[in-house]
Amino acid sequence: MSKRAFSLQDKIKIIKALENGNHTISELEFIYKVSNMAIYDWIYKFEKYGVEGLDESSTWKRYSKELKLSAVQDYLSGDYSIQEVTRKYEISSTSLLRKWIKKYNSHRELKDTSQGRTNTMTRRNTTINERKEIVLYCLENGKDYQKAAETYQVSYQQVYQWVKKYEHGGEEALRDKRGRKKEE
């Protein structure tokens, strides 16, 4: 199935078609090119939260480290399906839970969900020494780009780029070479 965005009206239409007995789940899957898991998820959200539950949220939902760990451990225990865990902990999607499971299984730390990256999108000029200091700080803190960006008041993306450049080309790669003419 292709990943397609469904409007609120489409979701309601599909649920109503199923409720009225006009189509089976299999028929709806074929007609609308949607997975049965998505349909079941929409039905659950509609029954629990009404029409608002079907509307895609545009806000960043926060999850604590403890909730993430509990959800992952419940799933890995084998006592719950991925769908059951997602509903139990009110996680926005099964794909998000799968991401946490993958991170947990690769022995990476699950952290509290931060507010996002938009609050550190300040642009300011930095010297080569500042960039080196920021990169080293970031590396010392387990590549926590967000923390480095907040600490030094630069953008997340900039910290990320500097770390990548530093890892591949060392300190020299951090030099800003824009506007410089090439030597013959």
Higher model confidence: residue 61 or residue 16?
16
Res 71: pLDDT: 94
Res 120: pLDDT: 44
Q: Is residue 51 over pLDDT 90?
A: no
Average pLDDT value over all residues in the chain: 84
pLDDT in tens, 113-150: 765 444 445 567 888 899 999 999 999 988 888 888 88
Task: Calculate mean pLDDT across residues 43-69.
Answer: 81
- The answer, as to whether pTM is greater than 0.75, is no
Short-list 121, 124, 125, 99, CA closest to 110? 99
Per-residue burial over 136-162, b = 16 or more CB atoms within 10 Å of its CB, e = otherwise? eebeeeeebbbbbbbebebbbebbbeb
**Whole-angstrom Cα distance, residue 109 to residue 103?**
7
Q: Which long-range contacts (CB under 8 A, 24 or more apart) does 101-104 make?
A: 101/72, 101/75, 101/76, 104/69, 104/72, 104/76
